[in-house]
């Protein structure tokens, strides 16, 4: 009888060992770290959209119901402050778009046409009269400039290789309204541009290919 009892105890102990071992294996399996989910590569940042301060030759500017093609761009730099002036053509009609001329505050966009009948020499006066408007000098300065594409008579003065840096003296005139005028001196050439300050919704850029 004692032998039978001993055998029964050994069977129970063995079963407990098997069950305990199984439970331990199950616990170890539960503690195994889960496989890390694959990481997705961050999407490449979208290319920044160009604005009017970044015009290039071949761009199209929609203004006043017309599509003007940018034929030439002048990039100005005055002690680190940069702005541009673009020569635009729609058929036989030529316009100039100047953007970013202000150093501080809201950047204005000027749509201008060449005024050939104002003769200047030396230092332009504090006030100018053109097209029935009286313009008052607001700012002036001297900048270096690089010319790209066909900038008309300015390109001819500067001999127009794209990598040539030339100097330009400039005078900016304003009125009480949105009319404005810009005088540029390129060597012996004085160029007068007159027009208006355009609203943000008046001008739309279609980048060239």
Please write the tens of the pLDDT for every residue from 143-196: 999 999 999 988 776 554 555 788 999 999 999 999 999 999 998 999 999 999
Residue 118, judged by CB atoms within 10 A of its CB (0-12, 13-18, 19+), counts as middle
What pLDDT digit, counting tens, does each position of 1-60 carry?
444 443 445 444 444 444 444 434 344 444 445 555 555 554 444 445 888 989 999 999
Tokens representing 194 are 């007159």
Evaluate the CA torsion angle 127, 128, 129, 135 in order and state its sign.
Answer: negative
Q: What is the pTM of this model?
A: 0.74
Handedness of CA 105, 107, 110, 116 (dihedral sign): positive
Q: How wide is the angle at C-alpha 100 spanned by C-alphas 185 and 91, nearest 5°?
A: 70
Q: Which 8-state DSSP code applies to residue 52? A: G
- What distance in Å separates the CA atoms of residue 144 and residue 168, rounded to the nearest whole number? 6
Which of 87, 104, 109 is CA-nearest to residue 199?
109
CA distances from 132 to 92, 169, 179 (A): 25, 25, 11
Distance CA 186, CA 10 (A): 110
Per residue in 86-126, pLDDT (tens digit) is 999 999 999 999 999 998 877 899 999 999 888 898 899 99
In the chain, alpha helices (H): 2-31, 153-157
């Amino acid at each position: 009888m004692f032998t039978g009892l001993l055998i029964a105890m050994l069977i129970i102990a063995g079963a407990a060992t098997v069950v305990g071992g199984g439970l331990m294996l199950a616990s170890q399996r539960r503690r195994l770290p889960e496989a890390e989910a694959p990481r997705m590569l961050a999407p490449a940042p979208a290319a920044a959209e160009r604005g009017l301060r970044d015009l290039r030759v071949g761009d199209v500017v929609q203004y006043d119901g017309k599509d003007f093609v940018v034929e030439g761009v002048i990039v100005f730099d005055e002690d680190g402050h940069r702005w541009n002036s673009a020569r635009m053509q729609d058929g036989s009609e030529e316009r100039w778009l100047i953007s970013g001329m202000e150093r501080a505050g809201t950047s204005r966009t000027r749509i201008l046409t060449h005024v050939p009948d104002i003769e200047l020499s030396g230092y332009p006066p504090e006030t100018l009269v053109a097209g029935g408007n009286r313009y008052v000098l607001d700012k002036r300065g001297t900048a270096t400039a690089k010319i790209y594409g066909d900038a008309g008579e300015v390109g001819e003065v500067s001999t127009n290789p794209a990598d040539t840096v030339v100097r330009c003296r400039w005078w900016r005139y304003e009125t009480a309204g949105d009319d404005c005028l810009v005088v540029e001196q390129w060597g012996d050439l004085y160029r007068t541009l007159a027009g208006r300050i355009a609203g943000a919704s008046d001008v739309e850029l279609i980048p060239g290919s």
